[in-house]
Amino acid sequence: MSVALVTGATAGIGAAFARRLAGDGTDLVLLARDDARLRSAADELRSAYGVSVETVVADLSTEEGLSVAEQRAAEGVDLLVNNAGFGHQGWFLDAPLDVELKTMRVHCEAVLRLTHAALPHMLRHGTGGVINVASIAAFVARGTYGASKAWVVSFSESVAAEIVGSGVQVTAVCPGWVRTEFHHRADLDVGDVPSYLWLEPETVVDAALRDFSRGVRVSVPTARYKVIVGLNRAVPRRLAAAISARVGSRRAGRRVPAKP
């Protein structure tokens, strides 16, 4: 890989992708909304790894941000990591509609448009690919968040099948609970989530890149989560959704579906 575009590259899983790719000698294009944080991440990576780092300030929940990101992706990158994402509070009917719509825009429209923009360059060169960060929530009925991640998995599998044999790979990564800023930003109380379910971002990135290089289309990091996904497939979807809602988080004394 020579140039990788990572969305949501300033924190959590995206920052871990950026560090790992820079450590492997890959030049980077880092995308997020916070300009100061992007510059500081870029400076650190340049001085630690000697790679070239470009920054793109873009809010993927806006048309303007999507256009800027799409344009950079179309200019040519060898690896696209569609990682930017967020969670939010509340049940479907309680959550503000604009937040639900932003979820669809950042998790689905951005993934679709950036993949569409980036693939032609990769296909011309017969190498590279796209890693789409979904979630284990893709496998259970769990609000708009889970539905958006289910779309990411299905979309990734579909595009991977369309371009099979081209030398270009598409992988959806489905992590469980990961220690990042995600839950704090969404004001989710995750105190009830057992410690054995937590993963480090580096563990997710290692598994994602390993599976990507092996041509795996849906990557579930760690054996424990592979078992959970396997068990989930064995129980009726309705029961799985009920269990998932119980392993949740609370706000204002009320249990809400937490989002891994």
Closest to ligand NAP by CB, 135 or 249: 135
**123 or 141: whose CB is closer to ligand NAP?**
141
| DSSP string over the chain | --EEEEESTTSHHHHHHHHHHHHTT-EEEEEES-HHHHHHHHHHHHHHH---EEEEE--TTSHHHHHHHHHHHHT--SEEEE-------S-TTTS-HHHHHHHHIIIIIHHHHHHHHHHHHHHHHT--EEEEE--GGGGS--HHHHHHHHHHHHHHHHHHHHTTTSS-EEEEE---EE-SSHHHHTT-B-TTS-GGGEE-HHHHHHHHHHHHHHT-SEE--SHHHHHHHHHHHHS-HHHHHHHHHHS-EEETTEEE----
Q: How many Cβ atoms are within 10 Å of 160's Cβ, its own excluded?
A: 21
Query: In the bound complex, what is the minimum distance in angstroms from residue 3's beta carbon to ligand NAP?
Result: 19
Q: How far is the CB of 126 from ligand NAP (least distance, A)?
A: 28
Of the candidates 49, 145, 196, 225, the residue annotated as catalytic is 145
Closer of 17 and 49 to ligand NAP (Cβ): 17
Site for ligand NAP, rule CB under 6 A: 7-14, 32-34, 37, 58-61, 83-86, 106, 133, 135, 175, 177-178, 180-182, 185, 260
Taking the least distance from each CB to ligand NAP, the nearer of 32 and 209 is 32
Cα separation, 33 vs 10, in Å, equals 9
Q: Which is nearer to ligand NAP, 123 or 228 (CB)?
A: 228
Report, in Å, the least distance between residue 40 CB and ligand NAP: 11
145 part of the active site: yes
CB 1 to ligand NAP: min, Å: 20
What positions carry a catalytic annotation? 145
